[in-house]
Amino acid sequence: MGKRVVILQSNYIPWKGYFELIHRADVFCFYDEVQYTKNDWRNRNKILGPNGLFWITVPVEKEAVKGKISEAKVTNYDWQEKHFRTIEQTYSKALNRNAILELLEPIYLSERWDNISKLNQLLIEKLAKHIGINTIIKNSADYQLKDERLAKLVDLIKQLDGSEYLSGPNAKNYLSENESIFSDNDIQLTYMNYGPYLEYENKRKTFDHQTSILDVLMNVPKEEYLNYITSQT
C-alpha cells in the first residue's frame, strides 16, 4: 500500500507547521538537493521575546545562492554560542527550559557546523523525536533524481513508495498549472492547511504562532506537544 509523503527543504529550527507536516506523513524526506534561496527559512527563524518576534540568523556564504542547499557553507562559528545564549535568556522562565537546553547544548556548544543543511536536518530530527513524532525520515541525497523540477519531485515520491503527496500551501503557486503530472502517475496531491492552533501560556505578554517550534517546546507540557502542533480542524 502506498504512503503519504512529504518532501520539504530543511529550515533552521522551523515553526510548528513544519513539524505538523512531518507528523502527518508516513515518510518525510529532506529536499536539500535543490537551489539554495536567499532571505528564506534555510538559515534563519524567529524567536518570540518579551518585545515580540526577532530573527536569529546563521551566517551562510554569499556564494550559496549559486548552488544547492546541501552545499551551502556556514561562514564562521561565532554564532553558535550566541544563538544558544539567546535561546537560554529568552526562555529563562519557561516551563521546559532545562530539558530543551540540555537537548540543544551539545549541538550548539560541542560541535562545529560548516554546512547549514546538516545542521538543520540534525536539529529537526532531534526535535521531532523529542516531540514524539515517529515518522520515517529520509534524505533526497540518497536517491537518484531527475533534472526537471516537477519530474524530479514526482520521481522521488515514487521512489519513496508514495501514493499521496502532502504539500505545503505555498507550493500551489507552481504546482497548480501542472497538477495533472501527479494524477498521471497515480499520486494524489493534497495541500496542507495550517491551523487554527491552540494558544498556550508562555510567561509573557506577547503571543505569536509564527515563531520557531522552540516556543511550543519551552512552554507546553511534553505530553501535550502533539496537541499544540496539530491544526484544530
Cell, residue 28: 518525510
74 forms beta bridges with 60
Cell, residue 175: 504546482
pTM equals 0.97
pLDDT tens string for the chain (233 positions)?
789 999 999 999 999 999 999 999 999 999 999 999 999 999 999 999 988 999 999 999 999 999 999 999 999 999 999 999 999 999 999 999 999 999 999 999 999 999 999 999 999 999 999 999 999 999 999 999 887 889 999 999 999 999 999 999 988 888 888 899 999 999 999 999 999 999 999 888 789 999 999 999 999 999 999 999 999 98
> CA 105, CA 57: separation in Å to the nearest integer?
17
Please check whether residue 43 is in contact with residue 67, taking contact to mean a CB–CB distance below 8 angstroms. no
> CA 131, CA 152: separation in Å to the nearest integer?
31
